[in-house]
Copies of this chain bind each other. A is one copy, B any other.
């Protein structure tokens, strides 16, 4: 299978780390999103929303959206489970993944897009919203700190996609100077543990 990606972006890293945890590999095709390589007619024909990464199976089927790519991988290679085993486990992991996405990853992305104007050729940056989003992301680290005070990992006792999601978002957030601080000792403990996994280098 082929993965079209942009190596420095956080969602492609999430998928690479997810695959590495599964012990799986893929052929990677780099797209320069700053130069708009993902916006060409050929790429739009594969992936209408133009977001990276997207997965192309050997029969030509395209799976876009990071969560959908991870879902596919989890389904074809169940061990180690990164999205839970029982119905409750699956739901709790999904809940925390969504909380991390909506409370942190997305605001970090909005802060990036609206503060830096990186994609201003293809969207309308609103600087005030960028600032609001950055503050929202920083506030969410308090929620995560409380969760990690009594849980080893984001969604409980086991490493999961929720941890991968938070890790790539926290590392990406440094670009906007949104960082774990002294007020987040449990996030710091977790960050050191999860960053030291071999898959974090994928």
Contact = CB atoms under 8 A, between A and B. Distances in A.
Interface of A: 48-49, 57, 61, 63-65, 67-69, 71-72, 75-76, 86-88, 90-92, 94-95, 98-99, 102-103, 114, 123-124, 126, 128-129, 132, 143, 146-147
Given A126-B126, A126-B132, A132-B124, A69 B48 contact: no
Nearest to A95: B68
A92 B76 contact: no
A92 B67 contact: no
A59 to B, nearest CB: 9
Nearest to A128: B126
Nearest to A147: B48
A61 B23 CA distance: 33
B65 A90 contact: no
Contact of A95 (B65, B90, B123, B124): B65
Contacts of A69: 91
Contacts of A132: 123-124, 126
